[in-house]
Amino acid sequence: MLLKRLAIPILCLLLGNCAQEKPLKAFGDVPDFELTDQRGQKFDSRTLYGHVWVVDFIYTTCQGPCPRMSSHMRAVQNATPSSLRMVSFTVDPDNDTPQILAAYAKRFGADEARWSFLTGSKETLNMLGRDAFHLGSVGNGIDHSTRFVLVDRKGQIRGYYGIADGNPVDKIAHDAARLESEKS
């Protein structure tokens, strides 16, 4: 009899624990960097501290996945609170000047208060793409990653999301909300 009375609360406790999501894994820290944004202004990574942010790597003349990735970023912009930041790094810094990035940002309806398009030295962009985000080198044109990266308020990488698996927007928005609700 006692076993029957305890079985339901124990089962509920077990199921409740199963329903909780596991914390997002940390994949490493993003180092400080300084680049140039689409307005031609210095962009210091420290402006991202305290914000959850989403990253992708694109180039403006891409006829392949980049427009699709930028459309997904716009959807993330529309599906998330204004506190979330978005950063698109160019993989073609020789051609993607601030003016060209500004036109590209406008084409995709980027909210400049939230979404920055960055260019700069190949060395810095390579360090970020290859060493920090683990997505590969820049300057390879068409041969670049099509994954998005989610970064927490402390600058830790907390998730990777590919377009090859379908539309990643809902998962990014969901996980970003989880990070937003984490205590600092």
Burial of 102 (0-12, 13-18, 19+ CB in 10 A): middle
- HSE-up of residue 112 (Cα within 13 Å, Cβ side): 14
How far is it, in rounded angstroms, from Cα 143 to Cα 156?
25
How far is it, in rounded angstroms, from Cα 118 to Cα 105?
11
Q: 4-8, 20-24, 33-37, 45-49: which range is least confident on average?
A: 4-8
Mind listing the pLDDT tens digit for each residue in 33-89? 999 999 999 999 999 999 999 999 999 988 888 889 899 999 999 999 999 999 999
Burial of 18 (0-12, 13-18, 19+ CB in 10 A): exposed
Mind listing the pLDDT tens digit for each residue in 79-112? 999 999 999 999 899 999 999 999 999 999 999 9
Q: How far is CA 6 from the centre of its chain?
A: 45
Domain 24-181 listed as CATH 3.40.50.720: no
All structural domains of the chain with their residue ranges: 24-181
Category of 27 on φ-ψ map: left (φ > 0), alpha (ψ -120 to 50) or beta: alpha
Of 131, 124, 136, the closest CA to residue 93 belongs to 124
